[in-house]
Amino acid sequence: MIRWLLLLLGGLLLGGIVHLVTMMMAPRTATQDAYARLALNAPVNTMTQIAAPQPGDAILTFMDPAFALAVCRYDLSDGSLKFSVPVSQAYTSVTFYTRQDIAYYAINDRAAGRRVIELDLMTPEQRAQLPEDEDVTAADRLIVESPTETGLIAVRALAPEPGLMPMARASLEAARCQRAD
Amino acid sequence: MRLLTGSLFVFIVAALVGLGATWLSLTGDLRFGALTIGSWTAYPRIGTPDADPYARASIVRTGLLPIGLGDGVSFIARHDDAGRPLDGRCTIAVSGMTPAARFWTLTLYNAGGGLVANSLGRYGFTSQEVLRHADGRFTIAIAPRASAGNWLPTGGVERYQLALRLYDTPVGVATRAGNETPMPQIVTTECP
């Protein structure tokens, strides 16, 4: 009897480990995550306008219909990226996601404090290779380090009223995401 | 033989417990770090690199891009203040105030996180669109049939959920429920 109880305890402990490992692995097995959904129509290192969500037709879940959305699916394996977007009248935000859709950095127009949000996106290795003097002149440019080589930049512009949606769209049309060299 | 049956037993228990717990937490939407105010629940950490494995699994399984914490916070309500699930055939009043934020949006979603079709083509309100009382409070009527004031159509769906998103807000990981975070009340006023 005691032997079986001990075996049960061992099984429970091992089950806990199995649970932790499978939970950590779960994001890697997903095929319907936001990145995979966007990969179908968003080319690499290019800004892509994402259509506003409609009933029964939205590329992502829980999209905010008050916002215009554009994404840049990036790949830093060939070098760093320069990103810029003019701020819209109401509210503009830029959020950086890893390949696993984790938001690792987000900035809005007020925090950026100027008419155009400009950012350099690079891996920690690429940042380490920046020449010293360039690092100084780059002081007025924000440098964002991506923990993964691939990921997403999502730019959102608010249309406070439906009639202002074309203006929010227009500011996103001017967004750029391209190789630094 | 004893060793064989013993280890077999251990492995079967481990597989049942481990995979069962994983399955339950993936389908049951188990998550930590909830900030609950009234009927509203937010997971501020979901928009940060500190998101725990349960939040990460939930993000990729549902196919959403969470709002980054530097951008805003998203609150979800699935039931009214009395604990009744939100029913699209009833009239529900969302009223009161919101925490400090530059903008907020209130959006109605079906259970899967999609918009609900309605004749008006209205899926939510922004803080600029909403009509307010003299004291700055607002009331939004969420109902299948048109009503005066702020009307958000439900399209008559049986179950829905509300998302209140605060943009450029001090509300975050360190926020506690209290006077500085007034969330709107959700009351079912009429149900056929």
Q: Give the domain ranges of chain B.
A: 1-30, 34-190
Closest CA to B125 of B109, B110, B140: B140
Other beta carbons less than 10 A from residue A30's beta carbon = 19
CA separation for the pair B45, B68 (Å, rounded): 9
Asked if the Cβ–Cβ distance from B61 to A30 is below 8 Å, we say yes
Mutation site for B-interface testing, chosen from A6, A7, A14, A23 by largest number of B Cβ within 10 Å: A23
Structure tokens at A50: 């994402």
What share of chain B has pLDDT > 70, as a percent? 98
CATH number, domain B34-190, options 1.10.3720.10, 2.60.120.600, 3.40.228.10, 3.40.50.2300: 2.60.120.600
Give per-residue pLDDT as tens, A102-128: 999 999 988 887 888 999 999 998 888
Are A15 and B62 inside 8 Å of each other by CB?
no
Q: Which of B25, B60, B114 sits opposite A58 (nearest CB)?
A: B114
Say if B113 is an interface residue toward chain A (CB within 8 Å): yes
Q: What is the pLDDT of residues B56-97, one digit of tens each?
A: 888 888 888 999 988 999 999 999 999 999 999 999 999 999
> What is d(CA B47, CA A49) in angstroms, rounded to the nearest whole number?
22
Portion 91-150 of A in contact with B at CB < 8 A: 91, 93, 95-98, 100-108, 110-111, 147
**For residue range B7-44, what is the model confidence (pLDDT) as tens digits?**
898 889 888 988 888 888 877 666 778 888 989 999 98
Rounded to 5°, the CA angle B112-B116-B119 comes to 170
List Cβ<8 Å contacts ≥24 apart for B4-13: B6/A3, B6/A7, B9/A4, B9/A7, B9/A8, B9/A11, B10/A7, B10/A10, B10/A11, B10/A14, B11/A11, B11/A14, B12/A11, B13/A7, B13/A8, B13/A10, B13/A11, B13/A12, B13/A14, B13/A15
CA distance A166 to B56: 34
Most B CBs within 10 A among A1, A35, A64, hence the mutation to make, goes to A64
Q: What is the ipTM of this complex?
A: 0.86
Are B135 and B160 in contact by the 8 Å Cβ rule? The answer is: no
Residue in chain B closest to A19 (alpha carbons) equals B18
